[in-house]
């Protein structure tokens, strides 16, 4: 089953601003319905495990703290704390 994610933003966020996400991983994330900081920032542990398996990035999301970075980027862009 696909991870349960937050609503898709009207315009995709630049996920490449998150350390550890380059153009290739950004494309994989988009292919799995992740295009916004809020979506990354609100992933559950189960969602992270499923997503890492799907994009073949074992351990990467937690190791590079994509969740924390996504929260920071979301706050910078939208002024909203997650």
The tens-digit pLDDT sequence of the chain (82 residues) is 555 556 666 789 999 999 999 999 999 999 999 999 999 999 999 999 999 999 999 999 999 999 999 999 999 999 999 9
Backbone angles phi, psi at 44, to 5 degrees: -85, 170
**Predicted TM-score (pTM) of this structure:** 0.87
d(CA 69, CA 66): 5
Helix H or strand E segment including 31: helix 23-31
**What does the block give as tokens for 69?**
């970075």
What local confidence, expressed as pLDDT, does residue 40 receive? 95
């Amino acid at each position: 089953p696909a991870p349960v994610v937050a609503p898709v933003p009207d315009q995709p966020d630049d996920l490449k601003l998150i350390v550890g996400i380059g153009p290739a991983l950004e494309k994989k994330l988009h292919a799995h319905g992740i295009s916004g900081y809020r979506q990354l920032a609100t992933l559950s542990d189960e969602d992270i495990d499923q997503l890492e398996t799907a994009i073949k990035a074992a351990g990467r999301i937690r190791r590079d703290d994509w969740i924390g970075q996504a929260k920071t980027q979301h706050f910078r862009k939208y002024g909203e704390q997650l």
